Each structure stands twice: as C-alpha cells, then as structure tokens.
Amino acid sequence: MLAIVVFLICIAHRSEADPMLWGSRIRILLARRGNLFEMDIRKGQCYVEDEVWGSPCQMDERSVNVTLNDVLKQSELRLYSGDSLYSTVFFVPNCTFQKPGKDEVDLKTSFPLSRFLRGQTHVELKFAAQGAESESWAFFYINGDLACYWEGRTIIRSERSFCRDLTQDTQSDLRVFVVTITRDYKDENSTFQWSTLYSKLVVTVDWMQEGE
C-alpha cells in the first residue's frame, strides 16, 4: 500500500523587502538510498528522473505544495532558494529517531523543525552532531548567512556574540549547541541551519503565526 503525504512549504521574506522570486532559483532535492535527486514540478505533477513522484504539486512565488505518493521511497526532502538551504523535511517512521552516523546531525535534538511563535520575541534552539570526541566540522547559519563554525568542539569562526565552544554529551555521544535567538523585527520568518560535512537540517521559525 502506498503511503501518501501532502505538505506545504511557505516562502520566508522580510517585511521591508520584496518577497523572494523563486523561478529557476528554487530547487527541490530528495534523498534516497544515500543519494540526492532533483525533483521537478510540471503540469501539476512532481517528477524525479522523469518518473511521476506525486500529484497534485504546485509552485508559485510564495509557496511550494508537494504531494508524495510513497513516503517510504525517500528519507529526506530539501528546499533550496539559490544556494541557501531553506527547509528540510525528514520522513521518520512512527517518529522513531534512529541514532545518526558519526559526524551526522542529530534530528531528535532539534525536533520540532518548525516553530510557530506569534507574539514571542525569543526562541531557544538546540542542535547536536554525533561524536562527542570528534574533531570534524560543524556550521550554524541564520537566514543563509554563516554565524558560527566549529572544528570538533572548538569555535573557529564567530560572527555572532552567542557563538561559543560546543558542549559534550558523553552519555549520548553528542557535541551540542544550545542558543537563544532574539527575533529581528524585520523578519516575519527565520531559518536556522545546522550542518556537518555529512548531513544538515533546518529549523524554521514563523514569528507571525501560532500553532504546533
């Protein structure tokens, strides 16, 4: 039996600027069996390598609406705006998070990946990478701009005052970054990307809507 999922991804924009124009700059990638494949939307259908992957599908200057016929055929979906990763969707059966591979991001630590915080001015975010003793790299981006960069647990580049060394969770074998973000009032939405050399995720925060 096919498992069907429909989800809507809304574009983020700053209230003092024009909305982003998507067109050819928007790319949708899905991860399957360790490889990334590009998804196209044509005539109301999603295609991967000329195979119909789902319908109805739609893209305009404000949103992407994707229907996937079988959620078991991919593990992750990524939405890029230009070179910036805007959103990530992970398909986790029964919400049972598996232990990530060495130096991969830990999904469970950052869950949920979408927050709706109307009326709030701060949000606490938590990120982790597998390997408490690892010397591999990790990166933190805000709205596509690099904020912090680490080698192992040591901060190497700091563009924001909150950047600091990662902490160790030896019991879970994780390197952990906890940060409290204050809303920039120009932003109606914010994206926070946590990346290693091997995987990445994005937490999106909508400051204008409320919900779960």
Same domain, residue pair 62 and 143 = no
Same domain, residue pair 119 and 72 = no
Residue 198 within a domain: yes
Same domain, residue pair 144 and 180 = yes
Residue 161 within a domain: yes
Same domain, residue pair 16 and 64 = yes
End-of-domain residue from the set 91, 118, 139: 91
Same domain, residue pair 11 and 83 = yes
Same domain, residue pair 74 and 125 = no
Cα 146 to Cα 83: distance, rounded to the nearest angstrom = 13
Residue 102 within a domain: no
Residue 132 within a domain: yes
Residue 66 has pLDDT above 70, yes or no: yes
Residue 211 within a domain: no
Give the pLDDT score at 23.
Answer: 38
End-of-domain residue from the set 65, 91, 117: 91
Same domain, residue pair 87 and 112 = no
Residue 100 within a domain: no
Give the pLDDT score at 179.
Answer: 98
Q: What is the rounded average pLDDT of the residues 136-161?
A: 98
Q: Tell me phi and psi for residue 54, to 5 degrees.
A: 170, 160
Q: Say which CATH number the domain at 149 has.
A: 2.60.40.10
> Which range, of 5-9, 22-26, 60-64, 101-105, averages the lowest pLDDT?
5-9
Same domain, residue pair 84 and 132 = no
Cα 187 to Cα 17: distance, rounded to the nearest angstrom = 10
Same domain, residue pair 58 and 141 = no
Residue 182 within a domain: yes
Cα 52 to Cα 92: distance, rounded to the nearest angstrom = 22
Same domain, residue pair 115 and 202 = yes
Same domain, residue pair 14 and 46 = yes
Residue 19 has pLDDT above 50, yes or no: no
Residue 92: helix, strand or coil by DSSP?
A: coil
The counts of H helices and E strands in the chain are: 1, 18
Give the pLDDT score at 190.
Answer: 94
Residue 99 within a domain: no
Give the pLDDT score at 10.
Answer: 41
Query: Could you tell me the pLDDT band of residue 11, with boundaries at 50, 70 and 90?
Result: very low
Structural domain including 112 reads 107-206
pTM as predicted: 0.86
Residue 8 has pLDDT above 50, yes or no: no
Q: CA separation (Å) from 180 to 17, 122, 134? A: 25, 7, 25
End-of-domain residue from the set 37, 62, 91: 91
Same domain, residue pair 74 and 113 = no
State how many domains the chain has.
Answer: 2
